[in-house]
Copies of this chain bind each other. A is one copy, B any other.
Amino acid sequence: MQDEQRRYLSVGKERLQDLVAAAHAGGQLREEHLGQWCYRRVVRSFRSLPTGTTLFGDTLVYGYPKIGRLSRLDTGLKVQFSHPFWVEEKVDGYNVRIFQHAGEVLAITRRGYICPFTTDRLRDFIDTRLFEAHSELVLCAEVAGPENPYNRDSPPYVREDVGMFAFDLMRKDRQGFLPHHEKEQLLREYGVPEVCQYGRYEVEDLPRLAGLARELDRTGREGIVLKEDSAQDRRAKYVTGRINLADLRVGSAAMKQLPAEYFTQRILRLGLFLEEHHIERTPALYRELGEALIEGVLEAVARWRQEGKVADHFRCRFHRKENAELMLEALYRLLGKGHVQRRVLEPRGEYYVLEFSKALPRTTGLLAHLLRGGLVFD
C-alpha cells in the first residue's frame, strides 16, 4: 500500500476545484459540446493538469502523460532505470481513455476530446462490466487498425477494422497508474484485450531485450514501452528501425503538412537503431528508405493532378449512424468544415460504413505553388 500511496497524487476535491478554476481563468480549460455530451478539456498543460485532462461535471480524468523516448537501449536502460521494469508492446494506433460517466461508457482521445467512433465501438472489444464494478477506473488503451478515423498506419496483425489493446488503468481524480499486477488482474478478470506483455526485465537483461527489439523490428511492430516496477513507475518508449520506414512512407505523402522534424527524427532514429543492433545496411534497406520518401511525394503529386488537392482517405465502421455523424461533426470542428469531406455513409452488413477524407491544405498549397511554376525564396 505504500507504493500505492506514492504512485497516486490524489488531490483533495477542494484543492482540485481551485486548480480547475485557475485553469479556467487562464484560458487553459475549454468547454466542449458534442451531441448530448458536454464537458471541459485542458487544452494546454496547466500546473499538474496535463494536456488532454478532461472534466465531466466535477470528475477529472487526467491526461495520459507523455512518455520519454529512448534512442538507445544499450546506454538507456542503465541511465533510466534503477529497478526491474515491465516491457510491453507499443502498438501503432491512437491513445484513448475509457471510463463510465452518468451511466455511459465513453472514450476520449489523447487531447481529451470524446471520440464518437471509439465510444460507438468499444463494446466490441471490452466487457463494460469492468466499469460497473469499478466505476472509478479509467482504462487506457490503443486503438489500431486500417479502418480508424485518425491514422494512416496500422500494425500488421490488424488486417481489417480496428482492434483495442489496453495498457494501463488509472483512477478518476487521480494522477498515476495502477501497479502492474493489479492492472493485469483486473484486465484478465474482465477479459480486456491487452497489448502484448513481454515480461519483467532488468538492466542486465540488455542482450535479451535487444533481441526482442530486433524480433519486433523483423515482424513490423512499432516498439516497446518500458515501465519500472517501482513506486516511481519510471517509463520510456523505444521504437524499432523499420517503423520509421513505414512512418516516412506515410509522411512523405503529407510533406509540409507535417513538421520537417517528423522526417529528420525518423531518419536519425533509423540510423541509430541500425548502429545499435549492428544491422547490415543492405542495398535493399537503403532502397526501401529512398522509396518510402519519394513514392509518397509522387503519390501526393498524382493526387493533386487528379483531384486538384491532396487529401487522406479514411473509412471506419459504426454500429449507430448517429455516432458516424457525430464523428464527422467532431472532425469538422477539429479541422474546419472545409477540410473534411463526407464521401459515404451507408449500411454495409452489420455496420454503418463512413468514408471521408481530410484535406492536407499545406501540402496542397505547396504543390499547387510549385507545380504551377511559382518561385520559392529559400
Contact = CB atoms under 8 A, between A and B. Distances in A.
Interface of A: 66, 68-72, 74-80, 236, 252, 255-256, 259-261, 263-265, 267-268, 270-272, 274-275, 281, 283, 285-291, 293-295, 297-298, 301, 366, 370-378
Contact of A294 (B68, B256, B286, B298): B286
A301 B271 CA distance: 9
Given A265-B378, A275-B301, A287-B286, A371 B71 contact: yes
A320 to B, nearest CB: 37
Contact of A236 (B68, B252, B375): B375
B290 A68 contact: no
Contact of A371 (B69, B72, B80): B72
A378 to B, nearest CB: 6
Contacts of A298: 271, 274-275, 281
Given A271-B298, A288-B290, 20 more contacts: A68-B376, A68-B377, A71-B376, A74-B373, A75-B371, A75-B372, A76-B373, A76-B375, A77-B373, A79-B372, A256-B264, A265-B378, A268-B370, A271-B297, A272-B371, A281-B291, A281-B294, A283-B287, A285-B290, A286-B294
Contact of A80 (B70, B373, B377): B373
Given A76-B373, A377-B69, A297 B272 contact: yes
A231 to B, nearest CB: 19
A261 B255 CA distance: 10
